[in-house]
C-alpha cells in the first residue's frame, strides 16, 4: 500500500503547470499590449478627471477587446491539437477562468473603487492569457498540452494540490475502490479518501491531493462540511 501511495503522489507532483511548446518567451507586460483606444478613453471626459465609473467603463471596453483576442488565439491553438490535447486545453482554460475570477476578488473592499480594481485585474489577466495563447499558436509545432497543478497553503502547514488534465485522469483511474456520487450532492463521480480525492465530470477529471511538505507525505484534508 505504501508503494502504491508513493506512486500516486509522484504522479500528482509531476503535474507541473505548463502550456506546452510555444508558450515560452519574455515576461508579458500587459499594459504594452493594450489597444491605443484604451489610452484615449482614459484621457477623455470624466475618465480623465478620475471619475470611477468612467474609468471602469474604459477598462471594461478594453476587456471586451482583449477577450475577443483571447478567444481568437484559443481557437487557433485548438485547431492544431489532437482530440485528447483539446480536452486538456479546454480543462486548463476553464480552470484559468475560475482562478482569474477568484484572484481578482481577493482584495476587494466593498467600496466604489472595486469597480476599477476588478475591471483592471480582469483586463490584465485576460491580456496576459491572450498573449500566452498567441505564442502557442505562433510556434512551429504545438506539443500535447501538459497537466496543470496549483497549490493552496492552509493553516498548520498542509498544502492542497489541485491537479487537472491527464495526470488527474491517471490518479482517478489508479485510485482503488468504485466511483460514487458525492455525499454532499456535488456533481460527478468521486473516488478516494480524505487525503486524495478525484472527481470525474463527463470527460473532465480533477483531483485534490493533500500534502505535508515537512514530512514529504500525504496529509489529512481539512474538515469540509457539506
| Residue 5 parent element (H or E) | helix 2-13
Spatial contact of 96 and 88, defined as CB atoms under 8 Å apart: no
What does the pLDDT read at residue 17? Answer: 37
Prediction pTM value: 0.58
Q: Please give the Cα distance from 124 to 6 (Å, whole number).
A: 39
Name the DSSP class of 150. E
Spatial contact of 205 and 172, defined as CB atoms under 8 Å apart: yes
Domain boundaries, the chain: 2-14+146-218, 30-138
| Residue 180 parent element (H or E) | strand 180-181
For each of the chain's 226 residues, which pLDDT tens digit applies? 444 444 444 444 444 334 443 445 678 899 999 999 999 999 999 999 999 999 999 999 999 999 999 999 999 999 988 887 888 888 889 889 988 998 898 888 888 889 999 999 999 999 999 999 999 888 765 555 567 777 787 777 788 888 887 788 888 888 888 888 877 777 788 888 778 888 888 777 888 888 887 777 777 766 655 5
- CATH number attached to the domain at 30-138: 1.20.1270.180
What distance separates the 2 farthest-apart alpha carbons in the chain?
A: 68
Contacts 24+ apart (CB under 8 A), 103-112: 112/52
Q: Counting every residue, how long is the chain?
A: 226
Phi, psi for 158 (deg, rounded to 5): -75, 150
- The dihedral over CA atoms of 187, 189, 192, 194, expressed in degrees to the nearest 10, equals 10
Q: Which residues contact 122 (CB under 8 A, 6 or more apart)?
A: 63, 100, 104
Residue 17: CB atoms within 10 Å: 14
What does the pLDDT read at residue 138? Answer: 81
Residue 6: CB atoms within 10 Å: 12
Amino acid at each position: 500500500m505504501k508503494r502504491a501511495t508513493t506512486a500516486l503522489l509522484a504522479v500528482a507532483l509531476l503535474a507541473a503547470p505548463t502550456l506546452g511548446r510555444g508558450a515560452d518567451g519574455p515576461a508579458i507586460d500587459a499594459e504594452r499590449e493594450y489597444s491605443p483606444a484604451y489610452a484615449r478613453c482614459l484621457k477623455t471626459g470624466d475618465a480623465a478627471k478620475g471619475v470611477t465609473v468612467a474609468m471602469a467603463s474604459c477598462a471594461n471596453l478594453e476587456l471586451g477587446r482583449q477577450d475577443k483576442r483571447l478567444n481568437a488565439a484559443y481557437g487557433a491553438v485548438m485547431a492544431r491539437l489532437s482530440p485528447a490535447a483539446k480536452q486538456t486545453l479546454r480543462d486548463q482554460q476553464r480552470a484559468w477562468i475560475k482562478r482569474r475570477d477568484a484572484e481578482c476578488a481577493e482584495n476587494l473592499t466593498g467600496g466604489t473603487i472595486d469597480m476599477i480594481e476588478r475591471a483592471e485585474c480582469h483586463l490584465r489577466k485576460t491580456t496576459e492569457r491572450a498573449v500566452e495563447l498567441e505564442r502557442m499558436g505562433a510556434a512551429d509545432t504545438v506539443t500535447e498540452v501538459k497537466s496543470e497543478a496549483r497549490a493552496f497553503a492552509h493553516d498548520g502547514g498542509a498544502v492542497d494540490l489541485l491537479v487537472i488534465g491527464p495526470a488527474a485522469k491517471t490518479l482517478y483511474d489508479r485510485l482503488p475502490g468504485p466511483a460514487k456520487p458525492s455525499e454532499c450532492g456535488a456533481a460527478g463521480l468521486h473516488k478516494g479518501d480524505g487525503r486524495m480525492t478525484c472527481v470525474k465530470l463527463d470527460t473532465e477529471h480533477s483531483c485534490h491531493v493533500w500534502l505535508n511538505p515537512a514530512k514529504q507525505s500525504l496529509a489529512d484534508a481539512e474538515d469540509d462540511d457539506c
